[in-house]
Structure 1
């Protein structure tokens, strides 16, 4: 959780120059850079400092290099789920935000996030949305956001023959 919190605040705590320097040090791999920086900063920041960094920048207009505001929202929603799902917190992401994030689903984004969605149709039970074709997997929209971003959700939260592909042990 600490690493996710450090990662969430990275974009507004560091200058572009610092980000480029970190990226060069990671041999151009954004994933390697994000992982290394999050681990380092999670060790170096107290819980209070992390919470403060997130709180102070809640209205920051950060957007990732690609995807604009919808991608920034997706980043924050999925990383929020990365924290709340393992902790078993019953936080519900507002449906207007889920609609925006679900609207970004594409074969390219599924590949980018490592979501193996071949042969599956995802369908939300709590709002009108579906994606893909094949064996239907249904669940809460926020759980399907996690799936779209290559995450697994706890058992029992998805239904359908292929649901086990997307659940943690």
Structure 2
């Protein structure tokens, strides 16, 4: 198992620990994902722990090959699962070992880090992903030039306030490294900040 994959399990486990100790209403709080509450994000990221490859294929067929439709459908439906079930799925070894088709360990870690930050940044909680994992995802996203999420980073300088990480030149954007990942993932922070679109 690569170093990248080894960070996936701790990220989901710490997210489960955070939510297990949170008030019940936390599950219905808004996340950074548009129109999704915290419970929708958890229902989304735990899909690999619930759906067999055959079930996933059936869901994809029902969504006519549109992964966004599939994601929204499953998140809306499975968000109503008992909290104990969702927490158990966050801790599942199946989820911790899962890799997205064609995405490998890097894709698995991106999914874990970005969606965990959708929850923790929205809740004003510290990142649950290991610090090295957050930096690895920052490096991975900027290496793609913002193309993953349709951003225009040509005139942007990013500086982390909690580490020595920085990138780019132009208009300065300073935030903790987790919030920078969220911004680079096309999210709008609770304070209203976002990065320019291409």
Q: How many residues align?
A: 158
Q: Which one of 45, 52, 71 corresponds to residue 8 of structure 1?
A: 45
For residue 58 of structure 1, report the CA deviation from its aligned partner.
7.2
Instruction: Give the TM-score normalised by the residue count of structure 1.
Output: 0.80
What do residues 14-37 of structure 1 show as CA deviations (whole Å, max 9, x unaligned)? 111211221122122111111111
Q: Greater relative contact order: 1 or 2 (C-alpha under 8 angstroms, separation 6 or more)?
A: 2
Structure 2 residue ranges without an equivalent (≥5): 1-37
State the partner residue of 1:61: 97
What do residues 107-143 of structure 1 show as CA deviations (whole Å, max 9, x unaligned)? 7573333445342122223223333432121111111
**Any conservation in 1 of the 2:43–2:75 contact (CA below 8 Å)?**
yes
For residue 49 of structure 1, report the CA deviation from its aligned partner.
1.0
Pair 1:19 & 2:56 matched? yes
State the partner residue of 2:118: 82
* In structure 2, C-alpha distance between the alignment counterparts of 1:35 and 1:59, rounded to whole Å: 19
* In structure 2, C-alpha distance between the alignment counterparts of 1:20 and 1:110, rounded to whole Å: 30
For residue 57 of structure 1, report the CA deviation from its aligned partner.
3.2
The verdict on how the C-alpha distance between 1:58 and 1:143 changes in structure 2, with shifts beyond 3 A counting, is farther
**Any conservation in 1 of the 2:39–2:79 contact (CA below 8 Å)?**
yes
State the partner residue of 1:29: 66
The DSSP-based 3-state class of the residue aligned with 1:39 is helix
Q: Which one of 105, 126, 134 corresponds to residue 98 of structure 1?
A: 134
Instruction: Give the TM-score normalised by the residue count of structure 2.
Output: 0.69
* In structure 2, C-alpha distance between the alignment counterparts of 1:80 and 1:58, rounded to whole Å: 17
The DSSP-based 3-state class of the residue aligned with 2:159 is strand
User: 4+ residue stretches of structure 1 with deviation over 6 A?
Assistant: none
* In structure 2, C-alpha distance between the alignment counterparts of 1:67 and 1:165, rounded to whole Å: 26
State the partner residue of 2:4: none
For residue 165 of structure 1, report the CA deviation from its aligned partner.
3.4
Structure 1 residue ranges without an equivalent (≥5): 156-162
